[in-house]
């Protein structure tokens, strides 16, 4: 009845050796199982019990964990290598040249900052993922929510020569949110938009109310649009994964950990919202997310 050759040969081996056999078998790319074949005797007749256990999910988690660890060590290796180079250059004589020494120290400080940020973001991500972050939900007005992130990032936009435009209608309903967490989402999106937009470009933040279907409450949809370098189509969903950076060759000099959007996605989903992106390479990107409206 079974045509799968690995299953058949497992059973044949069990018959030949008279002992239980265990093997992990990939039945298809989406189905990974563990098979146990056990012989038994009853009233002189020989039989075999075959137990097939679906381990697809377990394996997916194992692969994720492996990728995560290899990404993490890769991401730490770069700043560490750079830090080592700085220390060696100083040891080899740069200390005697104060202007150069100062430059190298600044570079060392940058690398330490990058690693610190990465560790902070990892801690944050692991707390969010393990459900340790409790949201303190309160009704909040959109205009006041965006104020803090906008003020924080305005100097950066000015330095980058990027115009920051805000279009939040005054009559939007209040949303039910954890203020600091949502401000963090907005900060991450604005920060990216500014970072990936060349001088002379613009970043526009807007919001609108959207009536959801009959059985769902209405929501506010927030958009951060930029006229920056854009994201290739295949990367649009992947940028929300941990450590994922689109097109490393173009974005290498921008710094960053690849964790910001992953954190943003978790926080938005914890609020019951969704987050997604649209983009055209060379034209710009739009990031959208939704927040539930506070009922009166």
Binding site residues, ligand ADP, CB under 6 A: 188, 192-193, 196, 226, 228-231, 239, 244-246, 251, 256-262, 285
Question: Which CB atom, from 35 or from 146, has the smaller least distance to ligand ADP?
Answer: 146
Q: Which helix (H) or strand (E) is 229 found in, with range?
A: none
**Token pair in block for residue 105:** 């120290």
Do residues 138 and 179 touch, judged by C-beta distance below 8 A? yes
Do residues 180 and 294 touch, judged by C-beta distance below 8 A? no
Rounded to the nearest 5 degrees, what angle is found at the Cα of 253, between the Cα atoms of 68 and 67?
A: 10
Q: Which residues pair with 285 in a beta bridge?
A: 226, 279
Question: Which CB atom, from 79 or from 292, has the smaller least distance to ligand ADP?
Answer: 79
Question: Which CB atom, from 196 or from 289, has the smaller least distance to ligand ADP?
Answer: 196
Q: How far is the CB of 258 from ligand ADP (least distance, A)?
A: 4
Furthest-apart CA pair in the chain: how many Å? 92
Q: How far is the CB of 257 from ligand ADP (least distance, A)?
A: 5
The burial of 39, by beta-carbon neighbours within 10 Å (0-12 exposed, 13-18 middle, 19 or more buried), is given as middle
Do residues 27 and 34 touch, judged by C-beta distance below 8 A? no
The burial of 244, by beta-carbon neighbours within 10 Å (0-12 exposed, 13-18 middle, 19 or more buried), is given as middle
Q: How far is the CB of 200 from ligand ADP (least distance, A)?
A: 16
Question: Which CB atom, from 39 or from 256, has the smaller least distance to ligand ADP?
Answer: 256
Q: How far is the CB of 96 from ligand ADP (least distance, A)?
A: 36
Do residues 178 and 136 touch, judged by C-beta distance below 8 A? yes
The residue whose Cβ lies closest to ligand ADP is 256
Question: Which CB atom, from 38 or from 117, has the smaller least distance to ligand ADP?
Answer: 117
User: Three-class SS of residue 34?
Assistant: strand
Question: Which CB atom, from 68 or from 104, has the smaller least distance to ligand ADP?
Answer: 68
Q: How far is the CB of 79 from ligand ADP (least distance, A)?
A: 13
Q: How far is the CB of 189 from ligand ADP (least distance, A)?
A: 7
């Amino acid at each position: 009845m079974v045509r799968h050759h690995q299953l058949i040969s497992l059973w044949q081996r069990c018959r030949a050796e008279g002992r239980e056999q265990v093997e992990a078998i990939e039945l298809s790319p989406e189905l990974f199982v563990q098979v146990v074949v056990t012989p038994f005797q009853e009233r002189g007749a020989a039989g075999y019990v075959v137990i097939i256990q679906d381990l697809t999910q377990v394996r997916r988690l194992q692969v994720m964990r492996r990728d995560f660890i290899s990404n993490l060590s890769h991401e730490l290796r770069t700043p560490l290598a750079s830090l080592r180079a700085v220390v060696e250059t100083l040891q080899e004589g740069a200390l005697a040249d104060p202007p150069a020494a100062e430059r190298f120290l600044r570079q060392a400080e940058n690398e330490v900052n990058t690693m610190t940020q990465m560790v902070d973001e990892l801690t944050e991500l692991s707390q969010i993922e393990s459900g340790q972050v409790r949201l303190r939900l309160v009704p909040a007005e959109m205009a006041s929510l965006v104020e803090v992130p906008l003020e924080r990032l305005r100097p950066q936009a000015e330095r980058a020569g990027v115009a920051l435009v805000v279009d939040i209608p005054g009559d939007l309903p209040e949303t039910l949110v954890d203020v600091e967490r949502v401000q963090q989402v907005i900060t991450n999106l604005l920060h990216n938009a500014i970072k990936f937009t060349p001088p002379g470009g613009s970043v526009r933040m807007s919001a609108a109310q959207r009536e959801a279907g009959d059985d769902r409450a209405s929501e506010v949809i927030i958009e951060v649009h930029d006229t920056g370098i854009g994201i290739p189509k295949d990367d649009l969903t992947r940028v929300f994964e941990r450590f994922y950076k689109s097109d490393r060759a173009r974005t290498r000099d921008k710094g960053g950990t690849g964790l910001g959007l992953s954190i943003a996605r978790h926080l938005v989903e914890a609020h019951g919202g969704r987050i997604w992106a649209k983009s055209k390479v060379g034209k710009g990107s739009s990031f959208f997310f939704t927040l539930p409206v506070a009922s009166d």
